[in-house]
Amino acid sequence: MIDIKDLTIEKASEMLKKGEVTSVDLTVACLKNIEARNKELNVFLEVFGDVLEQAKKADEIIKSGEAKKLTGIPIAIKDNILIIGRKVSAGSKMLENYVASYDAFVIKKLKEAGAVLIGRTNMDEFAMGSSTENSAYGPVKNPIDLTRVPGGSSGGSAAAVASGMCFGALGSDTGGSIRQPASFCGIVGMKPSYDVVSRSGVMAMASSLDQIGPFAKTSEDAKTIFDCIVGKDEMDSTSVVIEGRTFSTSIIGVPREWLKEGVDKEILENFEKSLEKLEKAGYKIKDISLPYSKYALAAYYILMPAEVSTNLSRLDGVRYGLRKEGENVFDTYKKSRSAGFGAETRRRIILGTYVLSHGYYDAYYNKAWKVRHAIEKEFENIFKEVNFVATPTTPTPAFKFGEKSDPLQMYLSDIFTVLANIAGTPTISVPSGFSSAGLPTGIQFTGPLFADESLFAIEKDLRENK
Amino acid sequence: MQIEDIEKLAELAKIELTDCEKQDLLRELDSILGYVKQVESVDVSDVELEYKNRNVWREDKIKNREFSREEIIEQFPDAQDGFVKVKKIL
């Protein structure tokens, strides 16, 4: 049996082409790891029954010499991305038995590439959370320390890659939901620029912030998945093409004013060590100031719930999803929504309803949009001086279950990640080392809008300059 | 914010809450709003409110899409003759 724990997509793809291994071998190895650990980790909500058939098909493509880089590679899919004919629940009781009626754009792309879709991964309900504790199907455990959260909301996808249950995974990132779990599980996670990966077929949470992106062991692998799913799609009216743009990659800006308080000491040490390594690799490090950006989290927790409350109004028990019969039509809406939605989802719907309500709209929603514009401008300007902005991905390593039972405390853990969603910029989280307790720590790099491709080289430079 | 405000919002959002949930939400919303209120203090007087995303129109021609009509119909919680059945509104 082949050991795939440290096997990259890059290497596996070469081995497949040389005939040293088959897609069935790789898939069986993933299934073994799932069998061994899924019960304790609760990563997969479903492992697809036809994975071996998918792998056999991929092996035929490889034999015919038509293989692409992802042909035959087992990839896990977050449970809010639609695959035709398969269940997709967004971690919610509301959609427990919902079956997708079409393929998401990113799924079409993966299928065209011949990837093996291995299963759907557990997540915070409707992608709302930073720990997977909001999943209606129980939390995912961090494979590195079972007493700790894997991060969220794409915690299942991160844990699946980190525990060798797949080679790469897709997640969605509205305020850090790819990068934070990648950091907590010690892998690479990337949120593309807004608009460059089609959102067609990902369940809308907050449409002006949502993006689909890859999880992988290395940035080369993350790039392989990104290159596969990127592209213009007429089903997403915001979708754009980024080919043909070039960006400089030599100066890294660091907003040190943000790191003065509230950041774990070991996270900071690993952050500084990573910057030193990059300096040795030829990057210039420059102190920068981003005065508006410190309001990103406040603006985020106004704009996001506003969009959530609107987007989730479609779940009323009429056309699909859970229905609980009431006396009249409104009663049925209420009963269905109350039975289907968990506590955090309700909280954000109520919060969103409040900030959008008459009398508060200007003070909250419109003001938050203005702050967002100011932050976008601030980023445009800073990228005239530097090529990347670096911060730790999270203020602390993976926390324990139940540690952040107060919602505001949980929200504050997104302090560094939400900025990229507010500004729309591409951002990658890569491992920066471990804490003394052996927990992974992460560092994230943000580039200018559409500089997605330029983010992937940094992790390699970091890895090779020890 | 008062309990009545929470009740009003829950009514608008079509969500039923127990008394205990109302109390919890009141406390949590107070704390969250206390935090997000800091946007009030930001001086953005020179920032224009603009929404960059625009609708992108396509030609008004029929195009075949890949989707499953059967899967859509099967999702209907209540159906008759292939149509979704809704409760009386008036």
Tokens 């890059």 locate to: A10
Q: Are A100 and A83 in contact (CB under 8 A)?
A: yes
Rounded to whole angstroms, the Cα distance separating B59 from B65 reads 15
Instruction: List pLDDT tens digits, range A16-63.
Output: 999 999 999 999 999 999 999 999 999 999 999 999 999 999 999 999
Beta bridge partners of A253: A286, A389
Instruction: List pLDDT tens digits, range B7-24.
Output: 999 999 999 999 999 999
Strands A188-191 and A211-216, by their bridges, are antiparallel
Q: How many CA atoms lie within 13 A of A317 on its CB side?
A: 23
Handedness of CA A200, A365, A192, A425 (dihedral sign): positive
Tokens 């950091």 locate to: A183
Choosing from A23, A130, A131, A153, the catalytic residue is: A153
Rounded to whole angstroms, the Cα distance separating A95 from A315 reads 9
Pair of tokens at residue A74: 């087992």
- Position with higher pLDDT, B64 vs A280: A280
pLDDT of residue B55: 74
Q: Does residue A354 have a pLDDT over 80?
A: yes
Tokens 């035959």 locate to: A72
Pair of tokens at residue A225: 């998945």
pLDDT of residue B49: 80
- Position with higher pLDDT, B88 vs A178: A178
A292 inside 8 A of chain B by CB: yes
On average, the pLDDT of chain A sits at 96
- Residues near A277 by beta carbon (within 8 Å), at least 6 away in sequence: A461, A462, A465, A466
What torsion do the CA atoms of A323, A326, A328, A330 make, to the nearest 10 degrees?
Answer: -60
Count of C-beta atoms within a 10 Å radius of residue A324: 17
pLDDT of residue B56: 77
Rounded to whole angstroms, the Cα distance separating A150 from A305 reads 23
B12 inside 8 A of chain A by CB: yes
pLDDT of residue A416: 97
Is position A89 annotated as part of the catalytic site?
A: no
pLDDT of residue A358: 85
pLDDT of residue B64: 81
Tokens 């007429």 locate to: A234
Residues shown for chain B: 90
pLDDT of residue A196: 95
* Pick from A423, A300, A367: nearest CA to B47: A367
Ranges assigned E (strand) in A136-250: 168-173, 188-191, 211-216
Strands A388-392 and B79-80, by their bridges, are unpaired
Pair of tokens at residue A98: 């919902």
Q: Do A363 and B87 touch (CB under 8 A)?
A: no
Backbone phi, then psi, for A419, in 5-degree steps? -55, -40
Count of C-beta atoms within a 10 Å radius of residue A15: 17
* Pick from A72, A85, A86: nearest CA to A116: A72
pLDDT of residue A442: 98
Instruction: List pLDDT tens digits, range A297-306.
Output: 999 999 999 9
pTM: 0.96
Q: Are A352 and A310 in contact (CB under 8 A)?
A: yes
**A208 vs B contacts (CB less than 8 Å):** 53
Question: What region, left, alpha or beta, does residue A342 occupy, with left being phi > 0 and alpha being psi -120 to 50 degrees?
Answer: beta
Q: Do A350 and B10 touch (CB under 8 A)?
A: yes
Instruction: List pLDDT tens digits, range A421-431.
Output: 999 999 999 99
Taking CB atoms and an 8 Å cut-off, how many pairs form between chains A and B?
A: 153
pLDDT of residue B71: 85
**How close are the terminal C-alpha atoms of chain B, in Å?**
34
pLDDT of residue A281: 94
Q: Does residue B31 have a pLDDT over 80?
A: yes
pLDDT of residue A205: 97
Handedness of CA A58, A59, A63, A67 (dihedral sign): positive
Handedness of CA A448, A452, A453, A456 (dihedral sign): positive
B37 inside 8 A of chain A by CB: yes
A100 inside 8 A of chain B by CB: yes
Ranges assigned E (strand) in A37-148: 44-47, 74-78, 116-121
pLDDT of residue A81: 98
**Rg of chain B on CA atoms, in Å:** 23
Which residue in A112, A211, A234, A408 has the most chain B C-beta atoms within 10 A of its own C-beta, making it the best mutation to test that interface? A408
Rounded to whole angstroms, the Cα distance separating A5 from A167 reads 9
Choose the closest CB to A334 out of B14, B32, B33: B14
pLDDT of residue A153: 97
Rounded to whole angstroms, the Cα distance separating A345 from A129 reads 9
Instruction: List pLDDT tens digits, range A95-140.
Output: 999 999 999 999 999 999 999 999 999 999 999 999 999 999 999 9
What torsion do the CA atoms of A394, A399, A403, A404 make, to the nearest 10 degrees?
Answer: 20
pLDDT of residue B66: 77
Cβ-based burial of A251 (10 A; exposed 0-12, middle 13-18, buried ≥19) = middle
Instruction: List pLDDT tens digits, range A144-197.
Output: 999 999 999 999 999 999 999 999 999 999 999 999 999 999 999 999 999 999
Instruction: List pLDDT tens digits, range A313-322.
Output: 999 999 999 9
Beta bridge partners of A211: A173
Query: In the structure, what pLDDT confidence band is assigned to residue A242 with cuts at 50, 70 and 90?
Result: confident
Q: What is the largest CA-CA distance in chain A?
A: 70
Q: Does residue A234 have a pLDDT over 90?
A: no
Query: In the structure, what pLDDT confidence band is assigned to residue A244 with cuts at 50, 70 and 90?
Result: confident
Q: Does residue A90 have a pLDDT over 90?
A: yes
Is position A177 annotated as part of the catalytic site?
A: yes
Give me the amino acid identity at A453: E
Rounded to whole angstroms, the Cα distance separating A433 from A272 reads 11
Strands B79-80 and A440-446, by their bridges, are unpaired
pLDDT of residue A173: 98
pLDDT above 90 as % of chain A: 92
Write out the DSSP string of A350-379. HHHHHHTSTTTTIIIIIHHHHHHHHHHHHH
- Residues near B3 by beta carbon (within 8 Å), at least 6 away in sequence: B22, B23, B26
